[in-house]
Amino acid sequence: MTKKILVCDDEPYILMALTDAVEMEGYECVTAINGKEALQKARETLPDLIMLDIMMPFMDGFEVCRELKADAATRDIPVIMLTAKSQQVDIQKGKDAGADDYITKPFRPSTLRKKFNEVLDARHIIEEE
Amino acid sequence: MFKRRLQTKIVFWIALILAVFLGTSYYVTTSRTLKSLNEEFEEATRGKAILLMDAIYNNIAQTSESGHMRQLIHMAELTNSYTELKQLVIFSQDGIVRQSLNPDEVGKKISEVHYNVYVNNEVKGKAYDAGSDRQFCMVKPLFNQARCYACHDKSKRVLGILDVCLNMNSARQRMAKNRELMRTAGITGAGATILATSLALALLLALLVNRPVSRLLKVINEVEKGNMNARVDSTAGDELGVMGRSFDSMIDRIHKLSEMKDDFISVVSHELRTPLTSIKYFAEVMLERVGTIDPARQQKYLRVINEETDRLTRLINDLLDLQKISAGKFKWKLEEIRLDQVVRNTVQTFSGAGLARNVHLVSQVDPGLPVVLGDNDKIVQLVANLLSNAIKFTRSGSKVVVTAERGEDPAFITDHRFRAYIKVSTTDEGIGIAPENLEKIFEKFQQVEDHFTRSQGGTGLGLSICKEIVLHHGGKIWAESTVDVGSTFSFTIPYEEKPPGVRPAASDAAPAPSGVVR
């Protein structure tokens, strides 16, 4: 079955970039334009990986992450936060919110692809066992 | 060091002033004491002279009988004044010496001083300087009386004048010695006391000044080292206390400015990073797929890069504008603006963005709005900023309403030369803004760590520019919001009312009362 990735960013062009990277690797892409939508779509579609921006209207990435990790249905989905490189505070906050990893902006296409495969392959192995 | 120098100066000057003051008062007191000593001594000498004269006078019969002055000397010895006896004379009323200790003087004229004492009836005697000596002279007339009759007739007359002259030199020397002693003692003893007192007082005063100064200096040093939390915390009401408090508020201000700078950098770096992220991604993707990429996709990606570079340019222009406006260096244009047209055109421009988010844009413009004066480009930017925010924050599938109407409430005007204004509002159906953030959002780069602004994705810059533009035109900008229902952002631009009859040219545009852009 094709793996599903939920990408969430309030900037349409960044969302477009994330979608491009997901589709290039042959995964199915679900998009969300704000935190609330991300939470709702995560619960509806139960993706294999979630990419979350931090600064978004309605609900920021940390809050979305905390809610996902508090919910038994979504707790095990890996979450990758999109942070700014200089913001060490955000990286720590992401960890505290339960995020599994982070990618700094601006990002390279190869970095995104590598990260997708890394996380999804690892999950694949765990599931097979 | 500064502290030492200040303290030294204060101590030096206060000590000097005190020393001069105390020294002068000491000198005055001392000389007064010496003067009274002088008088006392004269009094004592007079006493001696009286004693001596009385003794001589009482025994004058025998001495005169013997006609021998030695007898008188003996009398003088008895009074213990001999050592100081300078002259013992009896002279007649015509001033001729009749008898004297010094036989050579007999028959000569008595000195004028002594004669005058008698003639002027100076009964207390007189002290005077004779060369280097100081002498005291006292006279007593010898009246013809019973005991004189043995030798003299019985007529009533003055037989002669007894004149005693005592030398005051030894006493003067003692005095001089005393004075010398007092002086030396004064300089060493009193001088030391004066100096010690002056120094102690000066030190005390210096400490009073020095303590707050040192405290201030310590805090300045702390701040210099980078500790922005150091404060003087002075409570004194004097100048130094005020100085301390002024310094504190200065540091508070610097602290706030530095926080604003940090917030500014945070906001700007986010605003820069967002377009850069898209540009970087799509440029690299196209490099990776050179020759294999679908031309339609390539065009789409290139368009993103193109738009995002425009966005960066706008951001830089906004920054420069804001900096110029804040510094009062912005060159505002003054032209006629048709706000109804501005609103309609902006809604038209954003219809694409609205469509992309499935948002209805509704404009409700009152007919016949007057022309306002101002900077057209900036007003367009203002409306565009508010509209793009509203589109961004309203829920997908909801609508954004833009209204423009006339008003006359002075509460919505900051420049009170005007009475009327046009109010433009954008209303979204978004999550809303917490009441405590309603004013904060217009502050320059404020509260980036705050939940609201963070989740706004960096609108701090746009709203600060909006506020500057509105304030320049004499209007007001504010936000009203109900959480979970939506927010309304409004601004006013005041205008000068034309006299009745001169209606603004509203008819030539013939605007529809409202329009819906889907």
pLDDT tens digit string along B368-415? 899 999 999 999 999 998 998 888 888 888 999 999 999 998 889 998
In a mutational test of the A interface, the residue from B270, B276, B281 whose CB has the highest number of chain A CBs within 10 Å is: B281
Output the CA–CA distances (angstroms, integers) from residue B149 to B55, B92, B153, B155, in the order listed: 20, 18, 6, 9
A57/B281 Cβ within 8 A: no
pLDDT, position B368? 87
CA distance B205 to B267: 53
Residue B293: closest CA among chain A residues belongs to which residue? A24
Asked whether residue B100 carries a pLDDT value surpassing 50, the answer given is: yes
Nearest to B450 by CA among B211, B178, B266, B240: B266
pLDDT, position B465? 86
pLDDT, position B276? 94
pLDDT tens digit string along B406-442? 999 888 999 888 989 999 999 999 878 878 778 778 8
Residue B270: closest CA among chain A residues belongs to which residue? A84
pLDDT, position B264? 78
Report whether CATH 1.10.287.130 matches the domain B239-326.
yes
pLDDT, position B516? 47
pLDDT, position A124? 56
In a mutational test of the B interface, the residue from A24, A52, A53, A55 whose CB has the highest number of chain B CBs within 10 Å is: A55
Among the residue ranges B19-28, B163-172, B336-345, B507-516, the one predicted with the least confidence is B507-516
Q: Which residues pair with B463 in a beta bridge?
A: none
Asked whether residue B305 carries a pLDDT value surpassing 90, the answer given is: yes
So where are chain B's domains? 2-175, 239-326, 335-517
Mean pLDDT of B54-60: 75
Q: Does A106 touch chain B (CB under 8 A)?
A: yes
CB–CB contacts below 8 A, A to B: 80
pLDDT higher at B209 or A103: A103
Q: Quick one: pLDDT band at residue B86, thresholds 50, 70, 90?
A: confident
Closest CB to B277: pick one of A57, A86, A106.
Answer: A106
Mean pLDDT of B26-35: 76
Closest CB to B304: pick one of A13, A54, A57.
Answer: A13
pLDDT, position B510? 41
Mean pLDDT of B326-333: 87
CA distance A18 to B474: 45
> Angle CA(B312)–CA(A34)–CA(B486) in degrees, nearest 5?
95
Mean pLDDT of B277-285: 95
pLDDT, position B517? 45
- Which amino acid, one-letter code, is at A52? L
A86/B455 Cβ within 8 A: no
A56 interaction partners in chain B (CB closer than 8 Å) = 455, 457
In a mutational test of the B interface, the residue from A7, A13, A31, A111 whose CB has the highest number of chain B CBs within 10 Å is: A13
Residue B98, token pair as written in the block: 């009749």
pLDDT, position B172? 66
How close, in Å, is residue A11 to chain B by CA atoms?
8
pLDDT, position B310? 87
The CATH class of A4-128 is: alpha beta
A84/B304 Cβ within 8 A: no
Q: Does A10 touch chain B (CB under 8 A)?
A: yes
Q: Does B307 touch chain A (CB under 8 A)?
A: yes
pLDDT higher at A90 or B502: A90
Q: Quick one: pLDDT band at residue B455, thresholds 50, 70, 90?
A: very low
pLDDT tens digit string along B459-517? 457 788 899 999 999 999 999 998 888 999 999 999 988 765 544 444 444 444 444 44
Mean pLDDT of B16-38: 78
CA distance B351 to B361: 7
The CATH T-level fold of domain B2-175 is Beta-Lactamase (3.30.450)
pLDDT tens digit string along B148-158? 787 788 888 88
Q: Which residues pair with B422 in a beta bridge?
A: B406, B493
B278 interaction partners in chain A (CB closer than 8 Å) = 11, 13-14, 16-17
Q: Does B454 touch chain A (CB under 8 A)?
A: yes
* Helix/strand/coil for B167: strand
Q: Which residues contact B406 (CB under 8 A, 6 or more apart)?
A: B366, B369, B370, B420, B421, B422, B423
H helices of B424-492, in order, are: 451-456, 460-472
Instruction: Report the CATH number of the B335-517 domain.
Output: 3.30.565.10
Asked whether residue B330 carries a pLDDT value surpassing 80, the answer given is: yes
So where are chain A's domains? 4-128
